Structure 1
Amino acid sequence: MTWPAIPKDVIDWIRHIGSAVNNDVTGRMVNQPNVRETSLDDAFINQIAEFSAPRRLESGAIVMLETHNVGGLRHWDRWEIADIAFLVHVSIAGTPLCQKIGLLQSKRLYPKNHDVEEDDLVRFSMGLSGLVQPATGSTIGKFNRKFEFTESCKFEAITKSDEQLERILSFNTEFGESAYYLLYHPDEMPSESQHPRTEYSTVDDPAVGARVVHAEVVSDCAKPPTAADLRDKADVQYWRLETWMADFLLTCRVGRQYSSDDTSIINRMIYRRSGPISAAVRINVDLPEESRDQK
């Protein structure tokens, strides 16, 4: 199926949404430099959900976004292909036309002091009871910390023996390239912040922020890769999140179209609650009737 021409105002709207997500998650990195990676993913989905109401654009197209978030800790000690799945469904006057998928495996940059709140299975199993007890000396000691980010800082969760990366590469070979890496950075580098904070920052159009790269770029870098390694290796394909969403995924320049022939692998990834994806975003684009002649 040939991918239809997507109206410019649809692309602009999705780029606007992606930019809002980028600003939000990057702002969290700035204000809480040791934030958990899974918390950034949750914020990503929550920000997109704010744009979920259907919107009719000047071209006559209607765009509606839907989200579903299962949460990442269900994959504790198990591999996953991606943290966030993007599904794009295009229809004309309500008649389904085509669909595609793009997957993002997220990783966050670690500060120079390596101080990041990691997912903790013990604390997760304790639930709310873990917050009931008074803060201990070690907790209070966390009130005063300094965080620095430079281009030599590393994505420390990507290691030499990274089974997840190997599975992503294998998946792309089997299914066609559809899984990419989403890299969370602060708004600029070098940057520095101190806890406790005296004020909170608002991020708008970050110089670095959330970026998307090919999985092969991650594979080709030394492990764990530095921010500079990934930027230099990706070169012009060091996409801003909103660029990847709007100018590449939506226009079918990245990701993979799928059909009924792919039912087995799509079911394995998406429809099973135990599947290897934590959250999903569906972008529904309904084109006006006159678009039939422009396919």
Structure 2
Amino acid sequence: MPLNFSDIPEVVIDYVRERFAVANAKVTRTLEAQPSMYEETLDHLLVMELTASPRVFFAAEQIGLSIESHWLGSRWMYGRWEIADIAFFITLRQRGRLEARKLALLQTKRLYSKEIDVAELEDADYRIGIGRLADRIDPQVPLSQPRWFSFDADSVYGAMRAGHEQVQRIDAYMGERDLPVYYGLYNPPVLPFRAAYPQAPDAVPHPNEIGCRVIPAPTVHAALDALPFGQHPSFQDLTLAAPLDGADERSRQGWRIETFIADEVLRCRQGSLFDQQRDPNLQALLYGRSAPIAAAISITIDFGSGSAE
């Protein structure tokens, strides 16, 4: 009998949820401590934390699982990434033999604090390289004078704007390729949030009540359409009228990323399912010269003898 995603046992789904929750906490803690952290660095942290997950074997179920990653390169080398920053691939195998695949594309954006600017990385930053850190000869904002920063519901996702070309490109890509795209939104652990920067070495982190959230791109784009041209959407602007999960009122801010992967993608409620060995849309995503992703996370679930048979 062919494998399908409904054959994945709860213990495996629980493990995936826990690993993504750990990665969520890592990224959120970084944004809490370093409010001007680059979006690309937050992507790196998420990817690397997941990659550090050990390969595991569930003896009772005779199932092995691995989480791997591949970072495709910086924008100035391969062109500007317009569609998604991270692709999540879920692969089911039976004793190593490919059975089924799923894909979810994530375009990531971070919330900006009200007091401390975020200088987004540009192509020139990649070309200059290490000199950005080692050759700062101009006066800098003193670290010896801590200052306060804050986030609240009016804080904005500063790299997103109503009417921006990227929104149009994502819409066109979804229509052309029939692949859904989602926004991964990096937020502080709680809102409202206020802290000192630099923080004290013994600062106690907040519980991660909000953190990294995921919302379907059409829902985000509908919210952007309601804003004046060029306006940055706030946290409140992207808070939904109804929760994505009826059992979780907080999902008005989107699914937690661990819930999205474990309970939406693995359970086949979200993402794209590929039942062909060589789907043309998947091949274009993986091998096209203008492949629209910057990093990939692959979760392989391998069923052994006696599993799902």
TM-score above 0.5, yes or no: yes
CA 273–16 in structure 1, closer or farther in 2 if over 3 Å, else same: farther
CA 257–134 in structure 1, closer or farther in 2 if over 3 Å, else same: closer
Runs of 5+ unmatched residues, structure 2: 246-253
Residue 54 of structure 1 aligns to which amino acid in structure 2? R
CA 151–77 in structure 1, closer or farther in 2 if over 3 Å, else same: farther
Residue 248 of structure 1 aligns to which amino acid in structure 2? E
Secondary structure at 1:230 match in 2: coil
Secondary structure at 2:105 match in 1: strand
Q: Judge which range, 185-194 or 125-134, deviates more.
A: 125-134
Which residue of structure 1 aligns with residue 301 of structure 2?
285
Residue 78 of structure 1 aligns to which amino acid in structure 2? R
Which residue of structure 2 aligns with residue 225 of structure 1?
233
- TM-score normalised by length of structure 2: 0.86
Q: 233, 238, 247: which is aligned to 2:263?
A: 247
Deviations 1:259-291 (A, max 9, x none): 447643323322346411000011100123333
Greater share of residues in helix:
1
Structure 1 segment 34-183 matched on structure 2, within 5 A: 34-51=36-53, 53-57=54-58, 58-74=60-76, 78-113=80-115, 115-140=117-142, 144-183=146-185
Q: Judge which range, 42-51 or 158-167, deviates more.
A: 158-167
Aligned residues: 292
Which residue of structure 1 aligns with residue 273 of structure 2?
257
Report the Cα distance in structure 2 between the residues aligned to 1:158 and 1:10, rounded to whole angstroms: 35
Superposition deviation, residue 136 in structure 1: 1.9
Superposition deviation, residue 186 in structure 1: 0.4
Report the Cα distance in structure 2 between the residues aligned to 1:268 and 1:114, rounded to whole angstroms: 40
Secondary structure at 1:277 match in 2: coil
CA 201–96 in structure 1, closer or farther in 2 if over 3 Å, else same: farther
CA 79–30 in structure 1, closer or farther in 2 if over 3 Å, else same: same
Report the Cα distance in structure 2 between the residues aligned to 1:193 and 1:170, rounded to whole angstroms: 40
- TM-score normalised by length of structure 1: 0.89
Deviations 1:29-69 (A, max 9, x none): 00001111000001111101111x32101422110111001
Superposition RMSD on alpha carbons, in Å? Answer: 2.5
Runs of 5+ unmatched residues, structure 1: none
Superposition deviation, residue 211 in structure 1: 0.2
